[in-house]
Amino acid sequence: MTRKSALIAYGGWEGHTPEASARIVAAMLEGHGFDVTLSAGTAAYADPDLGRMDLIVPCQTMTTIEKDELAGLTAAVRAGSGLAGFHGTMGDSFRNEPAYQFMVGGQWVAHPGNIIDYTVDVSKPDDPIMEGITAFPYHSEQYYMHVDPSNEVLATTTFDGSRFDEIDGVVMPVVWKRRFGVGRVFYSALGHTSEEFQVPQMATIFERGALWAAR
């Protein structure tokens, strides 16, 4: 049986612990028999053979990407490589690149109150990614995002308006999946730092989502 391959590229703002998170994801995927390549920066996205990867996991925040790198990344996913990521390391990677955000299906714009307590609600309990997971409390940044209405939303959170009256009662996607060309795309807004992988629901949701996304 041919082993699946994954690229995990990390970098950007250190507050999101990109390298530490990348190594946790690498160990997770290796446990499922993946051959994992860890790469600092964005240069790997310009590799002509990127499309051979069954899964690509960006762990990059608030950084930049070259035109040929972005073209390589979007082409690989459109042709069938899976894309999976979490929090700002995929939802706030390249702020100046609408083509990247279009592929991901969303972009971070705010986290009112910074680190707070909130609830994650499961909107599709019958989806295999969410199987057995019910609503759970979470202590982290509650992401307010611009999201694509074509996303298949698996979990949400509701803002209470205690910080901004105008968002009181807003139901915001937290976990979604989508298609981009032939490729599968999975995103979870959970995972501010590597320590959050110790939360069973967070780790399980991402692990299942990454496996779903992989070709």
Q: Which domains does the chain have, with CATH numbers?
A: 5-213 (3.40.50.880)
Is-above-0.95 flag for pTM? yes
Q: Shortest CA distance to 68 belongs to which of 103, 39, 102, 99?
A: 99
Q: 3-state DSSP call for residue 139? A: strand
Strands, DSSP E only, in the chain?
5-12, 35-40, 55-61, 82-86, 106-110, 115-122, 136-141, 144-147, 152-158, 171-180, 183-188
Look over the chain and give the mean of its residue pLDDT values, rounded to a whole number.
97
pLDDT tens-digit readout, 74-96? 999 999 999 999 999 999 999 99
Residue 1 binned pLDDT confidence (cut-offs 50, 70, 90): low
pLDDT value, residue 2: 81
pLDDT tens-digit readout, 158-189? 999 899 999 999 999 999 999 999 999 999 99
pLDDT value, residue 131: 98
Question: What's the start-to-end Cα distance of the chain, in Å?
Answer: 14
Whether the predicted pLDDT of 108 surpasses 90: yes
Q: What tokens were used for 108?
A: 């971070």
Whether the predicted pLDDT of 61 surpasses 90: yes
Give the CA angle between residues 67, 13, 130 to the nearest 5°.
90
Give the CA angle between residues 51, 86, 147 to the nearest 5°.
90
Residue with tokens 């989806």: 127
Give the CA angle between residues 156, 157, 163 to the nearest 5°.
150
